């Protein structure tokens, strides 16, 4: 018979009410342990989608912390408040009508010029992205650098929540990545070739056969596949 492992209980405060929960839980699991049915602010549960943005304070600590509820473990005395949405303004644009020029991002998000280099956005990022650095790259007009530095952004909005200059950093980052992908990065020729083949119907018969195959047949095909060299 398996031995039940008992974890220390810690006190957390949610909605101005104190509760006790096991110390090994994440904030999200702690809320469900307490009976909350989470229908909003919940996504992948693996720290990738950014849906469960959370701010919290710790007992005896003056700092305001940020994190993802699915990836942040509870601590004793934690005062928790989730951020269901971040009301940041996103500019409307047609990427096909833009040019990847040094001033393009600044034209759409002139607020990046207000950046005071406090690095608060970087400290707030649950993905450990150098947020301030990509904002500064965008301000310099270095679209490729801004795109590269912001590549792991999950659009949780915590950077914008903490920014004293009220910059929508995550929207700046996604514009940089779109411009970079559309106009700067060289196209991968093999992918372009494969897309054209798909459009011509080269693989229609194979796809139809696969769609009609059972699970065992698909597994056999997968295990016998030939991997192409890079």
Q: Where are the domains of the chain?
A: 9-82, 95-184, 189-223
Which 8-state DSSP code applies to residue 224?
Answer: T
Average pLDDT over residues 63-83: 92
pLDDT at residue 189, as a whole number: 80
pTM of the model: 0.74
What does the alpha-carbon distance between residue 222 and residue 216 come to, in Å, rounded to a whole number? Answer: 10
CATH code at 9-82: 3.10.20.740
Q: pLDDT tens digits for 25-61?
A: 999 999 999 998 888 878 888 888 888 999 999 988 9
Average pLDDT over residues 135-153: 97
Taking a C-beta distance cutoff of 8 angstroms, is the pair 140, 219 a contact? no
DSSP lists the bridge partners of residue 140 as none
Taking a C-beta distance cutoff of 8 angstroms, is the pair 79, 13 a contact? yes
Q: Which CATH number fits domain 95-184: 1.10.10.60, 3.40.50.150, 1.10.1060.10, 3.40.50.300?
A: 1.10.1060.10
* C-alpha closest to that of 27 among 56, 4, 63: 56
Q: Compute the half-sphere exposure of residue 225: CA atoms within 13 Å on the CB side of its CA.
A: 9
Contacts of 192 (CB under 8 A, 6+ apart): none
Taking a C-beta distance cutoff of 8 angstroms, is the pair 27, 13 a contact? no
């Amino acid at each position: 018979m398996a031995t039940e492992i008992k974890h220390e209980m810690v006190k957390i405060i949610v909605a101005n009410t104190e509760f006790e929960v096991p110390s090994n839980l994440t904030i999200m699991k702690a809320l469900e342990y307490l009976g909350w049915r989470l229908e909003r602010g919940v996504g992948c549960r693996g720290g990738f989608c950014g849906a469960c943005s959370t701010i919290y304070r710790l007992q005896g600590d003056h700092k305001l912390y940020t994190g993802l509820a699915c990836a942040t473990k509870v601590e004793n005395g934690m005062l928790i408040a989730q951020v269901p949405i971040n009301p940041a303004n996103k500019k409307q644009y047609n990427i096909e009508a833009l040019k990847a020029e040094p001033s393009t991002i600044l034209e759409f998000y002139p607020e990046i010029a207000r950046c005071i280099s406090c690095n608060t956005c970087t400290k707030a990022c649950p993905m450990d992205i150098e947020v301030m650095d990509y904002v500064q790259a965008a301000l310099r007009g270095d679209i490729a650098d801004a795109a590269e530095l912001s590549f792991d952004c999950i659009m949780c909005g915590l950077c914008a929540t903490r920014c004293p200059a009220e910059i929508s950093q995550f929207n700046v980052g996604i514009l940089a990545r779109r411009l970079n992908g559309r106009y700067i990065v060289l196209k991968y020729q093999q992918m372009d070739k494969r897309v054209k083949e798909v459009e011509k119907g080269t693989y229609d018969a194979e796809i139809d056969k696969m769609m009609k195959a059972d699970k065992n047949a698909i597994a056999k095909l997968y295990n016998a596949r030939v991997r192409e060299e890079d």
